[in-house]
């Protein structure tokens, strides 16, 4: 997945940053350093959902758990309503 690929890059950025000559390309060194800090400590990269944020594996797991919870709640509600109405007649 694209999100995982972007996160793996952070392992290779440290040697790249250290190998850049600081006298010629200080701007590039700062750019890579900022990218490394965002990958290590900042928000995760990924497709952006307006209400949820970046779509990561953790977001997908949370959505599945919420979906299963709602499904159990709705099935239990229908079960109670069906048997309650069935037993009255």
Give me the pLDDT at residue 3, please. Answer: 58
Query: Could you give the count of Cα atoms lying within 13 Å of 23 in the half-sphere of its Cβ?
Result: 0
Pair (65, 86) in one structural domain: yes
Give me the pLDDT at residue 68, please. Answer: 96
For the stretch 43-68, pLDDT in tens is: 666 666 666 666 777 778 888 999 99
Pair (78, 40) in one structural domain: no
Grouping H, G, I as helix, E, B as strand and the rest as coil, residue 41 is helix
Give me the pLDDT at residue 51, please. Answer: 66
Pair (64, 41) in one structural domain: no
Give me the pLDDT at residue 1, please. Answer: 52
User: Is-above-0.85 flag for pTM?
Assistant: no
Grouping H, G, I as helix, E, B as strand and the rest as coil, residue 64 is helix
Pair (39, 6) in one structural domain: yes
Low-confidence stretches of the chain (pLDDT beneath 70):
1-10, 22, 43-54, 84-89
Alpha-carbon distance of 44 to 48, in angstroms, equals: 10
43 lies in which domain range? 1-47
Task: Give, as one character, the DSSP assignment of residue 43.
Answer: P
Vertex 36 angle, CA 20 and 1, to 5°: 120
Give me the pLDDT at residue 81, please. Answer: 75
Secondary structure E strands in the chain? 48-49, 53-54
Query: Could you give the count of Cα atoms lying within 13 Å of 49 in the half-sphere of its Cβ?
Result: 9
């Amino acid at each position: 997945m694209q999100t995982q690929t972007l996160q793996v890059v952070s392992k290779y950025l440290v040697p790249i940053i250290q190998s850049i000559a600081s006298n010629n390309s200080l701007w590039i060194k700062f750019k890579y350093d900022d990218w490394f800090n965002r990958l290590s400590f900042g928000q995760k990269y990924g497709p952006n959902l307006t209400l949820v944020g970046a779509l990561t594996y953790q977001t997908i797991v949370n959505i599945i758990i919420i979906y299963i919870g709602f499904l159990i709640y709705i099935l239990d509600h229908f079960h109670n309503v069906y048997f309650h109405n069935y037993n009255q007649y």
